[in-house]
Amino acid sequence: MDVILFLIFALIAVVCAINVVIQTHPISSALSLVGVMGSLAVLYLLLGAEFIAAAQVIVYAGAIMVLFIFVIMLLNAGAETRKGRSYLIPGAPLLIVFLGLMAYYVQRMFPGSTMVRFGGFQGGGPRDIGTALFTTYLLPFEVTSILILVAIIGAIVLARKEIE
Amino acid sequence: MMTAVPISWFLTLSAILFALGVAGFLFRRNIITVFMSIELMLNAVNLSFVTFSYQHKEVSGHLFTFFVMVVAAAEAAVGLAIILTVFKNRSTLNIDDVNSMKN
């Protein structure tokens, strides 16, 4: 059952990720990326990361992708024009070789190690995340607020109109 | 009939998604799609963080994923503001046309 669930959503994620790369229109890429993020949220649930799955849907698929689609619509970005596909000749085989090597080493380093079962890890709920966030990771959490402040100021400074 | 998924499958899926993100980052010419490929790579890394978190029965990986999401949100805000400014000044989204720092 878990294997079937994994295979279905892994397939959706890979197909959508390929679609992100090969679509010429940015809106199609953005919608495929939402598909990748949705299927990754299901895989997070399978791994027992309930809070992260919810945050993935709300923050990534919700907020960040809406920002992307907003900018694409605002700039009225059209389909990308290609100057030929000569890069595919060395690129595609290299990508496959790289993936094959990576898969081989991953399989060799984790031979028959931990098996993932649904419900095998219970420590991923909001309570556990919150406890860790406000005890062990309190300083990084506070530093994050400065990062967001810097991002807000940077975005305003970059996007504002010059006042004469 | 297997009833559980080996942890290496998750890591292999993460590697595939990361490689596709790298491919999109290198091959695409539209600046917004290049940006989306970066998000794809961040998502792939998040998947391996959560997978290792499951393997060690430890919540730290989830916290790292959480911080990566925060950084991705901040990065998206600043990056899209930069894209808006580039488009305002040059009226193009093609990264080959934005090359004033070349040479």
**DSSP annotation string for A118-141:** TTS--TTSHHHHHHHHHTTTHHHH
- Judge whether B98 and B29 are in contact, CB under 8 Å: no
Domain A2-124 = CATH 1.20.120.1200: yes
Question: pLDDT digits over A40-93, tens only?
Answer: 999 999 998 899 999 999 998 889 999 999 999 988 877 777 666 666 677 778
Task: Give pLDDT, residue A80.
Answer: 72
pLDDT at B71 exceeding the cut of 90: yes
- Bridge partners (DSSP) of residue B6 are A115
**Assigned domain for B70 exists:** yes
Contact B65 A30 (CB under 8 A): no
What is the domain extent for residue B64? 30-90
Confidence band (pLDDT; 50, 70, 90) for B47? Answer: very high
Confidence band (pLDDT; 50, 70, 90) for B39? Answer: very high
Contact B74 A150 (CB under 8 A): yes
**Assigned domain for B19 exists:** no
**Assigned domain for B14 exists:** no
A45 Cβ under 8 Å from any chain B Cβ: no
Contact residues on chain B for A12, CB-CB shorter than 8 A: none
- Judge whether A103 and A75 are in contact, CB under 8 Å: no
Contact A20 B8 (CB under 8 A): no
Contact A75 B62 (CB under 8 A): no
Question: pLDDT digits over A95-152, tens only?
Answer: 888 888 888 887 777 766 677 777 778 888 899 999 999 999 999 999 999 999 999 9
- Give the CATH number, domain containing residue B48: 1.10.287.3510
**Assigned domain for B40 exists:** yes
Task: Give pLDDT, residue B44.
Answer: 95
B6 Cβ under 8 Å from any chain A Cβ: yes
List the single residue in A with minimal CA-CA distance to B65: A52
Contact A47 B10 (CB under 8 A): yes
- Domains of chain B: total: 1
Task: Give pLDDT, residue B1.
Answer: 56
**Assigned domain for B37 exists:** yes
**Assigned domain for B71 exists:** yes
Contact residues on chain B for A144, CB-CB shorter than 8 A: 67, 70
A48 φψ region: left (φ > 0), alpha (ψ -120 to 50), beta (else): left
pTM: 0.89
Euclidean distance between CA atoms B77 and B29, whole angstroms? 21
A84 φψ region: left (φ > 0), alpha (ψ -120 to 50), beta (else): left
**Assigned domain for B98 exists:** no
Q: Please report, for chain A, the start and end positions of each structural domain, with discontinuous segments joined by +.
A: 2-124, 125-164
Question: pLDDT digits over A20-49, tens only?
Answer: 988 888 999 999 999 999 999 999 999 988
Task: Give pLDDT, residue B33.
Answer: 92
